[in-house]
Chain A
Amino acid sequence: MNFPQNYVSQLMEKITTWARINSPWAIHFNSGSCNGCDIEILATLTPRYDIERFGIKLRGSPRHADVLICTGPVTRQARERLLRTYEQMPEPKFVVVVGSCGISGGVFQGCYNVVGHINEVLPVDAFIPGCPPRPEAIIDGIVKLLAHIQRGTRPALVIKPGVQEAA
């Protein structure tokens, strides 16, 4: 048999993508949120909305996670910890922002201890607006992200100067 040279690596790529979209493990980091989004994320995981049917599971360690779910504006004290959590995640990694505060700073714009929104610190793949977004919206956002991963594309990244380049 005469396989193309990179046949094995292409096959492996396909298998990993298949595995990734069937079981994206997530980690949740609250960098200054009011808890509103956090309880809706938790509600998404529990029986009524049951996001585990998509293979999505919340992990305790960033080293096991593919998706970082961020909530809240970024406070000065949480900034470095958010970055550190992101850095610990293995590649490829995706960032999903849940809630208005993480998108724009929300009502906390201009507060002395708030650095800004998540996109000023990390490159973000998906934004889920709402204050807080309904669990259905959170599921929709994550499913859209999975569709991108399946097609082998990434949502257009908005990278601000000074923000880490995603690998």
Chain B
Amino acid sequence: MTTETLLQRAGELLAPFAKGANNPETNRLDVQIAASDLPTAASALMNASWGYLAAITGMDLGTEANELEALYHFCEGAAVTTLRIHLPREGCPEIPSISDQIPAASFFERELGEMLGVTVVGTPDPTRLFLPDDWPVGIYPMRQDFKQEQAAAVEPDKTPERGWAGNKFIVPIGPQHPALKEPGHFEFSVDGEIITGARMRLGYVHRGIEKATEARNWIQNLYLLERICGICSHTHTSAYSQGVEKLAQVEVPERALAIRELVAGLERIHSHLLWLGVAAHEAGFDTLFMYSWRDRETVMNLLEELTGNRVNYSICVLGGVKHDIGAQHSVSIHKALDYLEERIRYYLDVATTDSGFLQRTRGIGMMSLEEAKRFGTLGPVARASGVKRDVRLDAPYGAYKRYPVSIITDDRGDMEARFVVRMKELLVTCFTIRTIVDNMPGGGIVTRFPRKIPAGETVSRVEAPRGEAFYYIKSGGGESPTRLKIRTPSICNWTSVLNKAVGHQLADVPMLIAGMDPCFSCNDRMVTVRRKSDSNTMTWSELREYGIKKYGPRK
């Protein structure tokens, strides 16, 4: 179906609830609806299998308008349908939950509640996801009149929390844990070795980047957003520049777009090889970890040669790219890819034949096509369950029209399939990079870019190594954005991991978490074993005293 027919279909489905509709861009449809109609409107889209919920953007329209706005973005192919809901700013704004139809909405709703102070009625878990425990109640950072002084630390609520797991034994994991390379906090309730329930707390690396963008200008934001994630830094700069260029109506040279896709390809190789190593490490296969990281240095060298930096490449600038690619680079790229392709084939072989490794991957974390769609998974996790979802094909951006990629899917849906999909994706990426290098368009690499961006709003989507990254950018016509919403793929994939963990052995948890390639710094943008006031909890000094008493004073 073409984008026009998709949008037309969405318009028909939403017509009974629409209080107004318009097409702000050719691939977008905005529909104003009342808050009370939200669950039925979302069901109408879901029942007709129209797309998936990509993000919920909460916006404060300011004290003058005295309104909040919640935007529910649904994506199908290149089409983006947005349900716009106006809410009163004063008092207690309420919006019904849609997480029983769309489980993935639960995290977005938690974010909407804590950041903007909207009560989501009926959401399964209204506790904090990102904000710290000592954050005062009733202070919402994404409100426009928020001031840092309002957020002085308060004593966290220490009342014992009961009930989510009943009398089950809870195993806390994180924030500092050998299986986690980044801080996150999980609680698994277990019956013996079998997991019966799971929940998660993020926010250890939440820095408040979305709010910070509003205080920086368009160019400064490029460097701030690059540091959302050190692994997929190019994804964020390219998604941001693409959106801002659309708003400013600046045509980016073909050659610059080709270089962006080239660097995105190299980034995908570095990210997937990194993941392969970490996932192998979680499975106890450290030899593979060391091998894949050794080979990853090949692509790190390339990135350094092309951009001058190993990690935050900063190759994107607004209106183009910073460095050109010459003949000497194409020689080294081909040479490096020759080596990498051989190694990737070997890893594909190891991941599908090593019997010890297969015991940790085959049949673990099974997710069917229906489940993968229902949980709203993205990227290689979705494709390993047979979901054909890839922004590079669905909505080709940048140079992807010129240098298309082929999609890799697998219908087995277990951990092994996730390994296979990622390794095959690498081979496709190597092929695309070679095509780009051999058929580089001529011309300049950068155009002039205005300091102020005309008022307007846009949606920018790119395919990160982990799945779709979604940017909503709103400009008020000034030197900095009015609102920038970032939704990264990891947060969409968490729902599936937490749900699929139930029924597995506790020992499979590191593999399940590694299987989705989580990136905490992206989605935060966490043990304290829960502070219960019962007598089993000891402070550090109490524990020390207890130890001294028990073993006697040091001799």
Contact = CB atoms under 8 A, between A and B. Distances in A.
Interface of A: 27, 29-40, 42-43, 46-48, 60-62, 72-73, 75-78, 80-81, 84-85, 87, 101, 106-108, 110-114, 131-132, 134
Interface stretch (B9-17, B160-168, B172-180, B436-444): B172-180
B176 A35 contact: no
Interface string B502-523: 0000000000000000011100
For A40, A76, A112, A114, the residue with the greatest tally of chain B CB atoms inside 10 Å of its CB is: A112
A32 B300 contact: no
Interface of B: 130-135, 141, 146, 148, 151, 153, 175-178, 181-183, 203-209, 211-212, 215, 223-224, 227-231, 233, 274, 277, 289-290, 293-294, 296-297, 300, 310-312, 519-521, 526, 528, 540
Nearest to B225: A107
B43 to A, nearest CB: 35
A61 to B, nearest CB: 7
A101 B226 CA distance: 14
B206 A29 contact: no
Contact of A110 (B133, B212, B223): B212
A30 B178 contact: no
B231 A39 contact: yes
Contact of B521 (A33, A40, A80, A85): A33
A32 B205 contact: yes
A60 B177 CA distance: 6
Given A30-B182, A112-B148, A36 B204 contact: no
Given A34-B521, A132-B312, 11 more contacts: A30-B181, A31-B183, A31-B204, A32-B204, A33-B230, A39-B231, A75-B205, A75-B207, A76-B135, A77-B526, A112-B212
Residue from A33, A61, A134 with most neighbouring chain B CB atoms (10 Å): A33
Contact of A48 (B141, B148, B151, B297): B297
Contact of A43 (B215, B224, B297): B297
Given A30-B205, A43-B293, A60-B178, A76 B132 contact: yes
A48 B300 CA distance: 11
B206 A39 contact: no
Given A106-B227, A132-B312, A111 B205 contact: no
15 contacts: A30-B182, A31-B205, A34-B227, A35-B231, A42-B181, A76-B135, A78-B204, A81-B528, A84-B540, A107-B224, A110-B212, A113-B132, A131-B227, A132-B310, A134-B310
A47 B207 contact: no
A111 to B, nearest CB: 4
Given A33-B205, A35-B182, A80 B290 contact: no
Contact of B183 (A30, A48, A62, A73): A30
A108 B212 contact: yes
B153 A76 contact: yes
A77 B290 contact: no
A145 B434 CA distance: 44
Nearest to B131: A113
A42 B293 contact: yes
A143 B224 CA distance: 31
A46 B290 contact: yes
Contacts of A34: 227-230, 233, 521
Contacts of A48: 293-294, 297
A42 B206 CA distance: 22
Given A35-B519, A132-B311, A61 B178 contact: yes
Contacts of A113: 130-132, 141, 203, 206-208
